[in-house]
Structure 1
Amino acid sequence: MPDLIADDLVLLLCGINPGLGSAAVGHHFANPGNRLWPALHRAGFTPRQLSGVEDRELLTLGIGITSLVGRPTARASELSTAELRAGGRDLRARIRRLRPAWLAMLGIGAYRVAFDAPDATIGPQETMIGSTRMWVLPSPSGLNAHYPPRALAAEFTRLRDAMAFPALPARPAD
């Protein structure tokens, strides 16, 4: 699945890998049960709740999407340690080329493996890739029971506040 990227990104969101449904329709986080879109909206990154088929609208806000591993699976747990580590190397190269202001990895477990950071926690990371600051968010997958929607949105809000990204006022759905 191709990256959703542009020059001068303020934020690059990095999922673990595409789900089978997302890969089939060609849109990031297209599963209706994925909680990325409500979390972005509740945190003030988007003026309304988008859906996976509207993923390209993020580019107008300076936000892009990529994946750590390109291979689609039903569950991220199907990925091998070797795939996650190789994905980390590839992601570093993409970040050096794209130079977004911030990278937000969506999934602590994958981040720990890909960046050889077994003690990493949710939130800001000391590690940078060039001038890109790094932050780890919980996975927005509906399979992540550790973070209910309100807690997930709170973590996204912490990132938005740290970025000094202005909260977009809510507007009705089109």
Structure 2
Amino acid sequence: MIHLFQTAILLVFPILVIAAGLRDATSYTIPNWMPGVLIAAFAVAAVALGLPWRLAAADLAVGLVALVAAMVMFALRWIGGGDAKLFAAAALWLGLTGAPTFLLVTGVAGGALAAGLLALRSGPLQAIASAGPAWVVRLAKPGEGVPYGVAIALGALIAFPASALGAHL
């Protein structure tokens, strides 16, 4: 029964980052409750899995550094507020061992996403996209932002197995 609870609490991370990425792609918003639940679930997961306090403290430090970095990126208008909160909450879960992969994959995925959206917004694909659902039409609209939560979610999912908590799955 304990193993089932531990697995369930660990699954909160991939489920919520996927949901946040999809929500950002379709509405350009990430509700505050998503990173909030991720932060609360981290505390529960750390206790449930017996994460050593020094490792939990290091993960917390990574999350705080990520929050400061995300706040700077938000202030520079590089990312949205929801993206900043998701970035910090994901970094908390990923900690020192998952952070390098998270940063690398998120950066590459964000660049690829931006390039893909530029292509979608400036070529013949825009006409095809205009026949799609409203969220696709908005993605194809020139001048719209980049739903960076998609890149953050991809980076987080790929880095999760390298993290101290993800290694338990």
TM-score (norm 2): 0.27
Largest Rg, 1 or 2: 2
Task: Considering fraction of residues, name the structure with more strand.
Answer: 1
TM-score relative to the length of structure 1 = 0.26
Q: Greater helix percent: which structure?
A: 2
